[in-house]
Chains A and B, each alone.
Chain A
Amino acid sequence: MPPDAPVEAHHFQALGTNCSVFGVGLSLSRLLLGEFWVHRLGTRLTRFSPDSEVSRFNASPGQWVYVSPELEALLRESLRAFEMSGGLVNVAVLPSMMAIGYTRPLAEARPTATVSGAGPLPALPNVLKVRAGAARLEPGAGIDLGGIAKGWMADRLRETLGPNALANLGGDLSAGGPGPAGSGWPVGLAGVTVLLRDQGAATSSVRRRRWGELHHLIDPRTGVPANTGLEEVSVVAASGVEAEVVAKTALLVGPELAPVYCAAHALAWWMSP
């Protein structure tokens, strides 16, 4: 059996979380360029900065707004996620996030536990329209790209890094190529090691990002933090963004339907009540 190829690794903080990039046959400077790309795009996509592209889009309801190719792609991906999840993954979640007090990054300040003014979310296609180079948000709506952005960015970053690389952005990861030993990238999923090759993985959980009785994962049917009987779901899927969508959907449909949903949409999965 041939020895494993050397893996270059780089770890950094971005998007309010821990990130890592790995590559076989890649230089550290190449991985540093990847970190730079994450910081640059993350700055444009965060809802916590009033100057970001997403915040300016949220602040311009009722009119067509120029959007960058990256934001346009993410908005289209969000509409696809809405369809794929039967409406359970809905980026028009910003009003609910504000209602539960999640107005700043948790690293800066814990919100006060409160629910005021939250209600069921509108169907995303009813409030978000996208056309080439532009998008429009209906008044009263707001978007938070959240995990979809991380999964999508992990996929793009992995593609950019090269044919044998892995990107992990806060647990949303994308693995491409044969990995260091030729059988896939060894990735920890729910405490065990699985080998991923041209696949993505993600975990959706209500155990982190909690304050009081609340947490960050909103159920679009109620507009308040989900309480479905599942606390954590980990998924392997065809891409990082798809894994994110499937994991979140499975958590939101609850323990009875989640195994069926995962059997239809995931390549591997694990769930915890």
Chain B
Amino acid sequence: MRTAVLRAGATVLTLATTLLSAAYVTAHLKNPAAPLQPAVVKASTGSAATGPGGVKLGPSVQPGNGQPVTSTYAS
């Protein structure tokens, strides 16, 4: 009698674990289109935008409108 109870319990436990695992997996499907976390503002293509005067500007350098206080020059 006791052996039968243990067998039945093990079977129930196995089935329950299997069903719960299947339910968890189907509820957490991988979405290949999901956004990256943290979000990537802009993918780097290795290219820079062409600014005024043909200057190539990467994303960390912004063009300005006013007069420069100084400039690079060959000395």
CB contacts (< 8 Å) of A262 on chain B: these are: 56
**A259: B residues at CB distance < 8 A:** 56
A78 at the interface (CB under 8 A from B): no
- Greatest chain A CB density within 10 A among B53, B58, B60, B64 is at B64
Q: Within 8 Å CB of B51, what residues of A?
A: 192, 194, 268
Given A7-B69, A22-B70, A185-B69, decide whether A267 and B60 contact each other with a Cβ distance below 8 A. yes
Residues of chain B in range 43-75 having any CB-CB distance to chain A below 8 Å: 46-48, 51-58, 60-75
- Asked if A267 and B58 make an inter-chain contact with CB atoms under 8 angstroms apart, the answer reads yes
**8 Å CB contact of B75 from A18, A180, A195:** A18
In contact, A194 and B63 (Cβ under 8 angstroms): yes
The answer to whether A9 has its CB under 8 Å from any CB of chain B is: yes
* B interface residues, tally (CB under 8 Å): 27
Q: Which residues of chain A in 76-95 are interfacial with respect to chain B, using CB atoms and an 8 Å cutoff? A: none
Give bound CA distance, A191 to B71, whole Å.
9
Number of A-B contacts (CB under 8 A): 118
Please report whether the interface of chain B is mostly helix, strand, loop or mixed according to DSSP.
loop
Q: With A268-B55, A268-B57 given, is the CB distance from A170 to B75 under 8 Å?
A: yes
Q: Are B47 and A186 in contact (CB under 8 A)?
A: no
Query: Which of these, B61, B62, B69, contacts A22 with CB under 8 Å?
Result: B69
What A residues does B70 contact at CB under 8 A?
A: 20, 22, 166, 168, 173, 187-188
The answer to whether A236 and B61 touch across the interface, beta carbons within 8 angstroms, is: yes
Contact, CB under 8 Å: B62 / A192: no
Q: In the complex, what residues of A have CB within 8 A of residue B62's CB? A: 183-184, 194-195
**Which segment of A44-52, A128-136, A198-206 sits at the interface?**
A198-206
Chain A contact residues, majority secondary structure: strand
Contact with B along A243-273 (1 / 0, CB 8 A): 0000000000000000100111011111000
Q: Answer whether residue A234 sits at the interface, using C-beta atoms and an 8 A cutoff.
A: yes
Q: Which residues of A contact B52 (CB under 8 A)?
A: 192
Shortest Cβ distance from B33 into chain A, in angstroms? Answer: 30
Among A170, A192, A196, A264, chain B packs the most CB atoms within 10 A around the CB of: A192
Q: Let me know if B48 and A191 touch, CB within 8 A.
A: no
Q: How far is the CA of A188 from the CA of B64 in the complex (A)?
A: 9
Closest to B64 in A: A193
User: What string of 1s and 0s marks CB contacts (under 8 Å) between A3-20 and chain B?
Assistant: 000010100000011101
Q: Is the CB of A188 within 8 A of B68?
A: yes
Flag if B74 contacts A191 (CB, 8 Å): no
Nearest residue in A to B46 (C-beta to C-beta)? A263
Cα distance, A170 to B54, chains bound together (Å): 23
A9 to B66, alpha carbons, bound, how many Å? 17
On chain A, the residues within 8 Å of B66 by CB distance are 181, 186, 193
> Which residue on B lies nearest to A185, using beta carbons?
B69
8 contacts between A and B (CB under 8 A): A168-B70, A185-B69, A186-B64, A190-B55, A191-B53, A193-B66, A203-B74, A268-B48
Chain B residues within 8 Å of A, Cβ to Cβ: 46-48, 51-58, 60-75
Considering the complex of A and B, which 4 residue pairs feature the smallest CB-CB distances, nearest first?
A: A188-B71, A205-B74, A188-B68, A170-B75
